[in-house]
Amino acid sequence: MKIEKIGAIAFLTGLFFCVILALIPLHTDIVTITLVVLGLIVGFLNIKDKDTNQFLIASLVLIATSATPVGNLPLIGAFLQAVVFNFASFVGPAALVVSIYVVIRIAKFK
């Protein structure tokens, strides 16, 4: 199996888990560790040079959005808060990997 396919499968699996785990109120370490590991896999395998800026900007906005009080919305607030928190837990490690890669790349060219 190609590395790109593994990264794509990890990304889709992470998205799936973010939504499904928001429906099931499990806030355990295993859930967080699973999302972090999938995020690391995505960061190492999925993000190409041309996509780094867009990915880092989108990650920054997503992580900033996770701090908003969407949980206060009636009916769907708790679900939305859980999805955003899960997605930030998933994308955060990928953003960390990509940002370290960008810093190393910049340091090599200067």
Give the pLDDT confidence score for residue 106 in this predicted structure: 85
Domain that residue 27 falls in = 3-109
Model's pTM, two decimal places?
A: 0.79
Supply the pLDDT for residue 110. Answer: 61
CA gap 18, 103 in Å, rounded: 28
Using 50, 70 and 90 to split pLDDT, how confident is the model at 83?
Answer: confident
Residues contacting residue 74 through CB under 8 Å, at least 6 positions apart: none
Cα(66)–Cα(29) distance, integer angstroms: 19
- Per the structure, the count of domains in the chain is 1
